Amino acid sequence: MKKDKKELAKLKESTYFHKGHLSLMGKRAVSGYLFILPFLIGLIGIFIPSIIDAFIYSTHEITNTPTGYELTYVGMDIFANIRKEGWFLWELQRTVTKMLYNIPLIIFFSFFMALLLNQKFKGRTAARAILFLPVIIASGCIIQVENSNALAGLMEAGDTVDAINSMDITTFLIGIGLSPSICETISTVMTNIYAIISQSGVQILIFLSALQTISPSLYEASSIEGATGWENFWKITFPMLSPYILTNAVYTIIDAATSHTSTFMNVIDSVNNQSIYGMETAIAFSLIFFAVIAAILGLFVLLISRLVFYYD
Amino acid sequence: MIKYLEKFKKQPLTDDEEYNAYVRKKKLKAKTLDIGIKIFRAILIIGICYYILYPLIAKLFSSFMAEIDVYDTTVGMIPRNWTLINYERAWKGLNYLKSFFSTLGLTILNTVCQIAACTLVGYGFARFKFPLKGLLFGMVIFTLLVPPTTIIIPTYLNFRFFDIFGIIGLFNGGLGINLTDSIWSFVVMGVTCMGFKNGLYIFMVRQFFRGVPKELEEAALIDGANHLRTFWSVMLPSAKPILTVVSMFSIVWSWTDTFYQEWFLKTADLLANKLTVLASTVANEVLGGSNTFDDAYANIIKSSGIILVILPLIIFYIFAQKQFVEGIERSGIVG
């Protein structure tokens, strides 16, 4: 066993080196590093130091002094305090459950919409432009301005609009004579629709661009062989789109976790602004939150990568 | 018995009329199905578009509303007194022309830096094998996962005393140079893939290149092109659709970004920065003196401001979208 490992290591080494010189594989590896050099510099020069600093801040108490700030080591106290705060775990659990059922819905919806928008029909350009709007509306300054509105809700996540719509529908359904519990489910779905539509702009665009890359000659060939549209979808469209399902799953999870609309980010923001907690608690909160998200991400990637088909 | 069975035997279609009727029936069935699908599709798309557009249309109408209409409860969504005064005020409050061009400049700079770097990195991850590749790609996802808010303070300090492994510090006493309040912080973040959601761009480009058949590249390599040359003249032209999408994201997110602009370009006239304080700017500077708006009217000014800011993006998208559909048809990827 030990010998095997040694041999394997030797073999591995010999893929990159040959008689003390770089082999062909080694040369390719060097070019690979050259291509990802920008990221490597950013990672080592900017990202990792910042993360380490953030972690240092979270284990220290920060006090402002006239010349800057001072750090006092408090160790893992902050993490221990968080465990005492029951609402933190409750909030975390709520966010995570919401994410778990929204993610498949968003991916399914955007996949379906991309297929629809890829067909030829009148007003396709207009429909595509409109479905791209949420990407603009839900970004940066616009969402910020909306959040600060006293009469917010006209646009931000459409809360008021939805509330009115779903209220009407609920009274209508109860009038018909459906049981309240069914009505409640329907109205929850209704309120969720806008959230899903507004969160799937990016995903629709990714799927759409992926659909465009499938060569029409593939469909031509299979149709000549007598494949039906249904078979074409499962044998060509779905496998060719599968790498992008993975992309979109990763993006959706990250977006749901880190966007302005994420409830948990708001919790972190408000903790950051409260004097009893302060910034270090906020950072500690976010570190725990990201550990959880990373676990979910790993789970989804594992599940979906079984479906993925790559050309090579 | 045999006679009985013969009744059920399919009659050969000898008669022309009978055959035509059969074809017609089949065609009708296909046509009904087709129309059904079309109606379903139309309802779905119109419904979803309505969902997205309704708040925006409400905003658009309210931006043309005169101040009296705001307090008139009998006026609904559609204004009674149409006016352009809100736009005039928002235009002045945003300092529109100047902010527009400086935002445009920053957006182009940002997009070019980010896309160039991310395309190279994405290609590197898609096509080369090297040690630690899995770990490094995990780090790409990790950079995406950490929201900028968490690490902005250390990042800011990093740019405040910017230094490359202590080299600059040797000349000026270990302080480095100050890159904040200049576009250089954006350039540095762009070319090192540390900008907003750059991990996503790397991921998308990598997924795209992994889907491109290897034969294209191998042919070029056999013909004697080196890796950079292959990348530039074979792979890049075929990546047009994905690059258009990625640049579109980059453009939208740089255009409306307030977060990085507030930290690194506080003093510049930029649309996003101006928009967040538009209501008070209009009240204090444009109208002058001790004017204050109540929330209802401030909202209308904000609506006009938002429309002014997102209009260029929408126009740009309509053009770019055409480009990415055409781009694919010419790209010549053969499966």
Write down the domain spans for chain B. Answer: 95-276
Question: Chain A: residue nearest B260 by CA?
Answer: A140
How far apart CA A146 and CA A260 sit, in angstroms, is 11
Helix ranges (H only) for A17-85 are 24-35, 37-42, 48-58, 77-84
Mean pLDDT of B245-250: 87
User: Which pLDDT score is estimated for B318?
Assistant: 80
Smallest Cβ–Cβ distance between A265 and the set B42, B147, B192 belongs to B147
User: Which pLDDT score is estimated for B334?
Assistant: 41
User: Which pLDDT score is estimated for A159?
Assistant: 42
Q: Do B129 and A149 touch (CB under 8 A)?
A: no
Angle at Cα B134 formed by Cα B165 and Cα A304, nearest 5°? 135
How near does any CA of chain B get to the CA of A60, in Å? Answer: 14
On chain A, the residues whose CB falls within 8 A of the CB of B154 are 49-51, 53-54, 57
User: Which pLDDT score is estimated for A157?
Assistant: 39
User: Which pLDDT score is estimated for B184?
Assistant: 86
| Number of neighbours of residue B303 by Cβ within 10 angstroms | 25
Which overall architecture, per CATH, does domain B95-276 show?
Orthogonal Bundle (1.10)
Single out the residue of B200, B208, B157 nearest to residue B327, CA to CA. Answer: B208
Mutate to test the interface with A, among B145, B243, B304 (most CBs of A within 10 A): B145
How far apart CA B116 and CA B193 sit, in angstroms, is 9
**Taking the CA of residue A265 as centre, how many other CA atoms within 13 Å lie in the half-sphere pointing to its CB?**
16
Please state which of the ranges A240-244, A267-271, A295-299, B237-241 shows the lowest mean pLDDT.
A267-271
How far apart CA B300 and CA B185 sit, in angstroms, is 35
Single out the residue of B156, B173, B165 nearest to residue A57, CA to CA. Answer: B156
Grouping H, G, I as helix, E, B as strand and the rest as coil, residue A72 is strand
How far apart CA B25 and CA B275 sit, in angstroms, is 62
Smallest Cβ–Cβ distance between B314 and the set A53, A113, A129 belongs to A129
Cα separation values, B60 from A131, A168, A254, B49, B65, Å: 18, 25, 32, 16, 9
User: Which pLDDT score is estimated for A168?
Assistant: 63
Q: What tokens does A178 get?
A: 């459906």
Q: Do B154 and A35 touch (CB under 8 A)?
A: no
DSSP state of B293: -
Q: Which residue has the higher pLDDT, B283 or B255?
A: B255
User: Which pLDDT score is estimated for B125?
Assistant: 92
How near does any CA of chain B get to the CA of A101, in Å? Answer: 20
Backbone angles phi, psi at A121, to 5 degrees: -155, 170
What is the homologous superfamily of the domain A84-305 according to CATH? MetI-like (1.10.3720.10)
Please state which of the ranges A175-184, B149-158, B162-171, B272-281 shows the lowest mean pLDDT.
B162-171
Please state which of the ranges A1-15, A18-32, A158-172 shows the lowest mean pLDDT.
A158-172
| Number of neighbours of residue A309 by Cβ within 10 angstroms | 11
Angle at Cα B58 formed by Cα B54 and Cα B62, nearest 5°? 170
Q: Do B158 and A50 touch (CB under 8 A)?
A: yes
User: Which pLDDT score is estimated for B113?
Assistant: 94
Q: Do B41 and A116 touch (CB under 8 A)?
A: yes
How near does any CA of chain A get to the CA of B245, in Å? Answer: 7
How near does any CA of chain B get to the CA of A77, in Å? Answer: 19
Mutate to test the interface with A, among B77, B194, B293 (most CBs of A within 10 A): B194
For residue A230, pLDDT over 80 is answered with: yes
Grouping H, G, I as helix, E, B as strand and the rest as coil, residue B146 is coil
For residue B333, pLDDT over 60 is answered with: no
- Helix and strand element counts for chain A (H, E): 16, 4
User: Which pLDDT score is estimated for B332?
Assistant: 42
B176-209 per-position pLDDT tens digit: 677 777 888 888 888 888 888 898 899 888 888 8
How far apart CA A118 and CA A49 sit, in angstroms, is 44
Q: What tokens does B3 get?
A: 């006679």
Q: Do B146 and A51 touch (CB under 8 A)?
A: yes
Those residues whose C-beta lies under 8 Å from the C-beta of residue B183, and which sit 6 or more positions away, are B106, B109, B265
Q: Do A47 and B143 touch (CB under 8 A)?
A: yes
User: Which helix or strand (DSSP H or E) is residue A64 part of?
Assistant: strand A60-65
Single out the residue of A248, A264, A259, A261 nearest to residue A297, CA to CA. Answer: A248
Please state which of the ranges A176-185, A296-305, B85-94, B181-190 shows the lowest mean pLDDT.
A176-185
Mean pLDDT of A258-262: 66
Single out the residue of B238, B200, B196, B198 nearest to residue B216, CA to CA. Answer: B238
Q: What tokens does B184 get?
A: 């250089």
Cα separation values, A128 from A194, A208, B88, B245, B308, Å: 17, 10, 31, 13, 21
User: Which pLDDT score is estimated for B329?
Assistant: 43
Could you tell me the pLDDT band of residue A166, with boundaries at 50, 70 and 90?
Answer: low
How far apart CA A256 and CA A293 sit, in angstroms, is 10
Smallest Cβ–Cβ distance between B276 and the set A54, A145, A251 belongs to A145
Q: What tokens does B76 get?
A: 């609904």
Single out the residue of B249, B208, B248, B230 nearest to residue A213, CA to CA. Answer: B208
Top-ranked range on mean pLDDT: pick from A77-86, B209-218, B253-262: B253-262
On chain A, the residues whose CB falls within 8 A of the CB of B335 are 214-215, 217-218
Q: Which residue has the higher pLDDT, A140 or B201?
A: B201
Mean pLDDT of B92-119: 91
For residue B86, pLDDT over 80 is answered with: yes
Mutate to test the interface with A, among B44, B146, B249, B316 (most CBs of A within 10 A): B146
For residue A4, pLDDT over 90 is answered with: no
For residue B165, pLDDT over 50 is answered with: yes
User: Which pLDDT score is estimated for B117?
Assistant: 93
On chain A, the residues whose CB falls within 8 A of the CB of B242 are 209, 213
Question: Chain A: residue nearest B211 by CA?
Answer: A311
Q: Do A35 and B149 touch (CB under 8 A)?
A: no
Single out the residue of B148, B81, B62, B269 nearest to residue A149, CA to CA. Answer: B62
* Residues A82 and A288: beta-carbon distance below 8 Å: yes
Mean pLDDT of chain A: 75
How far apart CA B42 and CA A121 sit, in angstroms, is 9
Single out the residue of B199, B230, B84 nearest to residue B137, CA to CA. Answer: B199
Single out the residue of B197, B203, B298 nearest to residue B256, CA to CA. Answer: B197
* Residues B234 and B216: beta-carbon distance below 8 Å: yes
Could you tell me the pLDDT band of residue A273, with boundaries at 50, 70 and 90?
Answer: low
User: Which pLDDT score is estimated for A163?
Assistant: 43
Those residues whose C-beta lies under 8 Å from the C-beta of residue A168, and which sit 6 or more positions away, are none
How far, rounded to the nearest angstrom, does the alpha carbon of residue B266 sit from its chain's CA centroid?
A: 24
Smallest Cβ–Cβ distance between B295 and the set A128, A151, A311 belongs to A151
For residue B231, pLDDT over 80 is answered with: yes
How far apart CA B25 and CA B30 sit, in angstroms, is 9
On chain A, the residues whose CB falls within 8 A of the CB of B305 are 145
Those residues whose C-beta lies under 8 Å from the C-beta of residue B252, and which sit 6 or more positions away, are A135, A136, A139, B313
Residue with tokens 């994201």: B249
User: Which pLDDT score is estimated for B120?
Assistant: 92
Q: Per-residue b/e over A24-33, b at no fewer than 16 CB within 10 Å?
A: ebbebbebbb
Q: Do B211 and A310 touch (CB under 8 A)?
A: yes
* Residues B42 and B289: beta-carbon distance below 8 Å: no
On chain B, the residues whose CB falls within 8 A of the CB of A228 are none
Please state which of the ranges A3-17, A33-47, B32-46 shows the lowest mean pLDDT.
A3-17
DSSP state of B256: S
ipTM of the complex: 0.77
User: Which pLDDT score is estimated for A156?
Assistant: 39
Cα separation values, B298 from A146, B1, B119, Å: 12, 90, 43
Q: How many CB pairs under 8 A join A and B?
A: 269
Could you tell me the pLDDT band of residue A138, with boundaries at 50, 70 and 90?
Answer: confident
Please state which of the ranges A149-153, A205-209, B62-66 shows the lowest mean pLDDT.
A149-153
How far apart CA A28 and CA A301 sit, in angstroms, is 28
| Number of neighbours of residue B29 by Cβ within 10 angstroms | 10
Give the residue extent of every domain in chain A.
84-305
How far apart CA B194 and CA B197 sit, in angstroms, is 8
Could you tell me the pLDDT band of residue A11, with boundaries at 50, 70 and 90?
Answer: low
Mutate to test the interface with B, among A16, A39, A160, A240 (most CBs of B within 10 A): A39
